[in-house]
A and B are shown apart, each in its own frame.
Chain A
Amino acid sequence: MKTSRNKPRCGFDCRLNWRALASILGILVFASVSQAAKIGYLTETSWQEQAIEFWTLQQPSVRMAVLGTVLIGLCCGILGSFLVVRKLSLLGDTLSHAVLPGVAAGFLWNASKDPWVIFIGATAAGILGVALVGWIKSTTHLKEDSAMGMVLAGFYGLGITMTTMIQNMAMGNKSGLDKFFFGQASAFNGGDIQLLGIISAITILVLLFFYKEFLTISFDAGFAKGLGMPAQTLHYALMALLAFAVVVSLQAVGVVLVSALLITPAAAAFLLTDRMHWMLLLAALFGMLAGVLGAFISYLSNDLPTGPFIVLGATFIFLLAIYLGPRHGILPKMLRRRRQRKRIALENTLKAVFHLCEHGHFERRVFELKELAQERNTNLKSVEREVENLIKAHMAKVEEKDSHLEMSGQARFRLTSSGWLRACEIVRNHRLWELYLTNAAHYQVDHVHDDAEEIEHLLGEQLVKRLEDRLQNPITDPHGRLIPSREQVTV
């Protein structure tokens, strides 16, 4: 299994040396064939034993299944990334349904499950389907989704008609065509793996050679045409690769669920990065992970199908990405928002304390909770909480040494130097912005407060500096109050 452990690194190696990659893939393709053996002696054992058997990879059938699903995950992840960024995700779905008549026709050709013949038939059908979608879209006023739906359902219907006809034929009973609907990775044999390996190699090599071109047509087709790139040809080349990948994946995951392998890992990768090459690598990695996960779970018991578990594995990864993704994830976003809310609350309290100072002409430095409550226009309890938060952030301290802050209006506190600095900064931001709005944007003086109330928490140091330069280091705000100066802030 050494070869498959090398796999995830291929993506990196190849950027430096694609020849090394090609040879690795070559070894992979041919090594896999030598391991060929049929799965099929899955005896009923406990799931723990099955699990151990799976991870030690002793059974050739397990190696076969793992290798197969890993390769599928790799291919579909990479190609799916292009679909997802081009907003063509459901074209993969259309394609996977459209191959069915091709599979049936390939089977009819010589009445056997010869992977190569089925492969050719299915690919032809898939490409025809995709071409039809484009053609319907360009020659009628029907929209893309209707065109995709029609091709999907029409081809699928044709496929079902042909499959049922085959099943009603004398030789049809042992056709095993039903495997194509839900997939069974344990059904992989040497021929399938060989095909898979070759397809993976072709996909990776084509993408390496034409990466720039594919990138350009994916993000700006017009620009690509302007550069003289054959956008149409490249599009169909991508579709052909896609058809290859879909067809070889059918055996493991089935017609209905192939599209999930194309979309879900790529979508998960899309959530985590903004760079296309990282997205490709991540999507390939997620696809392979999902493949192994699915193969593993379905190996635990005889009656568990592979395809759905691969899909659910991919969905699991997607859920992780959507919830925990560092930049776009729901949870980190929530945490960031909460932290910001907390900071804004703190800063509002500080501002109120500053106002208290200002009322006392900057002579008093110690304040009672009652005063703050009056200034903030709230009750004692919430003010107490606010001041506690300040104390936690080391921005204020209680004046009476031994007593804790208590529920009495007489409890006294003062700001620490860091608290005072922050308070000055906030008020300064507020007043600078008010001044900017009145002087530069010609707002009415009585209209600027609410706006400044929002922006004061968001102004960064550089922006403040630019405001100052623009306003020529002002001293008072439009209401005639002093703007705490930079020197005062730093003192």
Chain B
Amino acid sequence: MRENFLPAFDFHRTFVEPWSAYFDNTIWIVVMGFLVAATCGLIGCFIILRRMALVGDAISHSLLPGITLAFLLTQSRDTLPMMIGAIAAGVVTVALIEAIRQSSRIKPDAAIGIVFSSLFAIGVVLISVFADSVDLDAECVLYGEIGWIPLEDQVVLGGHEIGPLPVIRMAAIAIIAIGLLLAFYKELLVTSFDAGLAASLGINPGRFQYGLTLFLSVVIVSSFESVGVILVIAMLIFPGATAMLLTDRLPRTLWLSALFSALYAVLGFHLATWLDASIAGGMSVVAGAVFTLVWIFAPRRGLLMKYVFKSHTNVGSSQSSQAEMTAS
């Protein structure tokens, strides 16, 4: 409890305390934040390339009825039923969007909006009707809070405590994501950039689209506890989009997005602790700030460079922008 919105400046409080107060817990929270952001960021690069950013938004919203139903049916908060509920919700969302798009003249963007808002509304209704029996909080799903993840249950491996269960679980998902990425890198690359070429090479683009959607649901459901369904979108899009302003190569984009994720986790945690605010919110604010900085100062594509370049050589810039257009 405090009186003022912004805390008064105090060097120790501002720069040291967030890291010194409860370091044992702190480090796990930051690690968790990094894992969430990195996994989302990795899959997010492909989501951006496929112009599915708002499908991700839709899926993350429709998880609410999925996990609520899973919870109502099993009466447990175990990972497995939640996962199944979430994956089912993801599949239903994508299938419904496709169904509306194909059976009517509704454009995909409107279809996305209709489907996710209806499913989300169903979720909120379910939670409020079964409020007594549902131990889920709609607002918790909306915001999420890394600070609340249970750190007590430690995973013990070979007699050593290696870390809290949720963090290890997220790490496992991150490793699976990296494994899948390495295994199917070429296919993902081709289907993301040129579905026609992929089909002619014997890769089924539809299958990869669905696979990616499924995995997206898994990632979102494992992240929502920490960052909430809406800020998952921040973690999905910001790392990749920021990286894409800096480079044109996909591998470099992926590395950079992981780097940015670490930045979000550390700075976001710091900001949130200092301001006494939601950590997920802090991470998104940092993500937005980093994007803005890159947007302005990026070496080749930054606003500043464009401005400087334009004011000196007008002809050259128009040529280069033309070249860019043909390249894209």
| Chain A residues in the interface with B (C-beta under 8 A) | 84, 87-90, 92-93, 97, 108, 136, 139-143, 145-146, 148-150, 152-166, 168-170, 178, 181-182, 256-257, 259-260, 262-264, 266-267, 270-271, 303-305, 307-309, 311-312, 315, 318, 322, 328, 330
Contacts and interface: CB of A to CB of B under 8 A. Distances in A.
A56 B68 CA distance: 36
A97 B189 CA distance: 32
A154 to B, nearest CB: 3
Contact of A260 (B118, B303, B324): B118
Nearest to A333: B103
A148 B233 CA distance: 10
Contact of A267 (B52, B106, B237, B241): B106
Contacts of B110: 84, 87, 89, 263, 266-267, 270
Interface in B273-327: 275-278, 280-285, 287-288, 291, 295, 301, 303, 306, 324
Interface stretch (B25-33, B54-62, B75-83, B202-210): B54-62
Contacts of A157: 231, 234, 280-285, 287-288
B2 to A, nearest CB: 6
Contacts of B118: 260, 264, 311-312, 315
Chain B interface bracket (under 10, 10 to 19, 20 to 34, 35 or more): 35 or more
Interface in B103-154: 103-107, 109-110, 112-114, 117-118, 120-122, 124-125, 128-129, 131, 138-139, 142-143
B275 A161 contact: yes
A40 B107 CA distance: 42
A161 B143 CA distance: 10
Contacts of A159: 281
A88 B138 CA distance: 28
A305 B114 contact: no
A169 B5 contact: yes
B53 interface: yes
B306 A139 contact: yes
B3 interface: yes
Interface of B: 1-5, 48, 51-54, 56-57, 61, 100, 103-107, 109-110, 112-114, 117-118, 120-122, 124-125, 128-129, 131, 138-139, 142-143, 228, 230-231, 233-234, 236-238, 241, 244-245, 271-272, 275-278, 280-285, 287-288, 291, 295, 301, 303, 306, 324, 328
Contact of B54 (A139, A145, A271, A322): A145
Main secondary structure of the interface of B (DSSP, over half): helix
Given A264-B113, A267-B113, 6 more contacts: A145-B54, A148-B53, A161-B281, A165-B275, A260-B118, A263-B114
Contacts of A259: 113, 117
B61 A256 contact: yes
A160 B295 contact: no
Contacts of B48: 142-143, 146
Contacts of B113: 89-90, 92-93, 259-260, 262-264, 267
Contacts of A328: 104-105
B278 A271 contact: no
A421 to B, nearest CB: 38
Nearest to B4: A169
Contact of A141 (B107, B283, B328): B328
Contacts of A266: 110
A304 B61 contact: no
Contacts of B129: 303-304
Interface pairs A-B: 5 shortest CB-CB: A157-B284, A260-B117, A153-B234, A154-B288, A161-B281
Given A154-B287, A307-B121, A160 B280 contact: yes
